Amino acid sequence: MGDNLVKALHGVDIEIQKGEYVAFMGPSGSGKTTLMNIIGCLDTPTAGEFWLNDSLVSDMKDDDLASIRNAQIGFVFQNFNLLPRQSALDNVGLPLVYAGIGEEERKERAMAALERVGLGERYEHKPNEMSGGQRQRVAIARALVNNPSLILADEPTGALDTKTSYEIMQLFDELNEAGNTIIMVTHEEDIAEYAKRIVRMRDGQIEREDRK
């Protein structure tokens, strides 16, 4: 930033096992979003290493990173990031389009993902015909459709009311119990408590960890 060098992360050393449910917490500027972006293969570290499923991701080129993102990582965002003119089924199937999956298989897998989050009957509806909670469930189904190694959730309840937030977090609980690895960023203490491991960050470093 101008003449100032800002180290978003420094000295971070963390290992997350398959099947874990981890929440990153910290004030603005703590580095949690940068760390999430590195884990999601959206950013590459300027130093150090990032390994995902025995692959050294931090050394990969952009095309390889894009393939990793599509095949191994499911993203859930605060504002859903759904295509407004597409049905729930088409929104969920979008990662499969990028993966080159044929239309028939794409629809079958997208429908299965919608049914998994309790929205099988809403597959023809567009985002503006759904509640916030339903839209987030569509986003979660989209994250699941490629059977990813891990699900990254960035403030997944930030745009939802309290009751709906808890319903979405119960869904994350069910997904984790089924074996999905979940990494979440949140500012909300009550939401972080759903995770089984809370990593608290400050000034680009891990301040402490709490495990259940």
Q: Does 4 have pLDDT greater than 90?
A: no
Where residue 48 sits, what CATH number does that domain have?
A: 3.40.50.300
Non-local CB neighbours of 44 within 8 Å, separated by 6+ positions: 38, 58, 60, 65
Q: With respect to residue 35, please indicate whether it lies within any of the assigned structural domains.
A: yes
Band of pLDDT at residue 98, cut at 50, 70 and 90: confident
Q: With respect to residue 15, please indicate whether it lies within any of the assigned structural domains.
A: no
Q: Does 124 have pLDDT greater than 70?
A: yes
Q: With respect to residue 190, please indicate whether it lies within any of the assigned structural domains.
A: yes
Q: With respect to residue 12, please indicate whether it lies within any of the assigned structural domains.
A: no
Q: With respect to residue 128, please indicate whether it lies within any of the assigned structural domains.
A: yes
pLDDT given at position 78: 87
pLDDT digits (tens, 9 = 90+) for 157-199: 988 999 999 999 999 999 999 999 999 999 899 999 999 999 9
Band of pLDDT at residue 92, cut at 50, 70 and 90: very high
Full-model pTM: 0.90
> What is the distance between the alpha carbons of residues 33 and 8, in angstroms, rounded to a whole number?
9
pLDDT given at position 70: 87
Containing structural domain, residue 115 = 21-211
pLDDT given at position 3: 79
pLDDT given at position 1: 62
**Which residue's entry shows tokens 């703590």?**
30
- Mean pLDDT, rounded, for 71-98: 93
Q: With respect to residue 164, please indicate whether it lies within any of the assigned structural domains.
A: yes
Q: With respect to residue 134, please indicate whether it lies within any of the assigned structural domains.
A: yes
* H or E segment to which residue 170 belongs: helix 162-177
pLDDT given at position 71: 87
Q: With respect to residue 100, please indicate whether it lies within any of the assigned structural domains.
A: yes
Q: Could you give the number of structural domains in the chain? A: 1
